[in-house]
Amino acid sequence: MKKIQEKYHNLMENIKLSEGETNSIKQNILNQSNKHYVFKPAFASLIILTIIFTLGITVNALVKHYNIKTNEEYKKDVVFNGVIDKKYDSGLFEKNKRYTIEELEEKLELKILRNKKIDNDLFELYNLSNKENQITKMNFWLINKENSTNKNDKINYSFEINTDLKEGSRFAMSGDSQLEIYKIKTLDTEAVIIESKNETYGPLLANFEYDGIIYSIELDKIDFSKKELYNILNSFFIEK
């Protein structure tokens, strides 16, 4: 292990930007930041509105589709026990393959929620568990458009399907995160929001269950405000 540590250290020492690259990146940052600086007063107003809006939200801890447990380290875990009462053959899906939402609905014989803020509909299966030739757990995430200037393409959207109760979905809270329950009016269900206590950066996660499927929205506070998260949550709908 010592040999590899040394080799790893040597490799990392060789990974460096040239002086030209360092200066060019710095110049790009300064050019871009000056462009954005004009909008700062409007951005500040948005933050103030977000704080006012956030304070107005009533926290209502009704346990429905999830349990909030205190783990051995006296921190909280949020556990979703959503399960789909169907059997899927292990060969039905292929890990790392991409599927359109329509293909998924047809294969799964389930309705998957749509979202007005997200206009792309291609998902990749990034996690697949089988037991006795039957699928027990599947995780799909949305393929975001490359090189997009649309902020909504920064939304990390995924969903999980479990066919075995043992395969619950656990979201562990770290010491510097806090929890909020938010009612999604359009779906009449509750989302559990876990967010970094830091005001300017860190994860902003929302998880909820609808018809046995566990949906997750993962944002970074540096890109999205809490109000924007609420808007994304309220943009979920059921395609008729």
Partner 1 sequence: METQFNKIYEMYNQDIYRLIYSYTLDCAESKDILQETFLKYYKNINKLPTTSEDIKKWLIKVSINTSKDHLRKIIKCRFIFDNEIYKSMDSSDLEVIDILKKLNKKYRIPIFLYYYEGYKIQEIATLLHLKESAVKMRISRARKIIKEEMELI
Question: In sequence order, which residues have a C-beta less than 8 Å from that of residue 82 and are 6 or more positions away?
Answer: 65, 160, 162, 169, 209, 212, 213, 214
Report the SS3 class of residue 173.
Answer: coil
Single out the residue of 103, 105, 121, 124 in contact with partner 1 (rule: CB under 8 A): 124
Single out the residue of 51, 110, 143, 179 in contact with partner 1 (rule: CB under 8 A): 143
Instruction: Give the interface size with partner 1 as a residue count (CB under 8 A).
Output: 49
Angle at 226 between CA 220 and CA 231, to 5 degrees: 105
**Residue 51 touching partner 1 (CB under 8 A):** no
Measured from the CB atom, is 83 or 194 closer to partner 1? 194
CA gap 88, 181 in Å, rounded: 32
Query: CB 68 → partner 1: shortest distance, Å?
Result: 17
Binding pattern for the stretch 159-198 against partner 1, x by CB under 8 A and - elsewhere: -------------x-xxxx------------------x--
Closest CA to 93 of 123, 121, 114: 123
CA gap 149, 88 in Å, rounded: 38
**Residue 144 touching partner 1 (CB under 8 A):** yes
CA gap 10, 3 in Å, rounded: 11
Output the six-digit token pair for 74: 């006296």
Specify the stretch interacting with partner 1 by CB under 8 A; choose among 30-38, 51-59, 162-170, 181-189. Answer: 30-38
Residue 129's DSSP bridge partners are 137
Measured from the CB atom, is 10 or 58 closer to partner 1? 10
The residues that touch partner 1, with contacts defined as CB under 8 A, are 1, 3-5, 7-12, 14-18, 21-22, 25-26, 28-30, 32-33, 36, 73, 75, 124, 141, 143-146, 153-154, 156, 172, 174-177, 196, 199-203, 220, 222
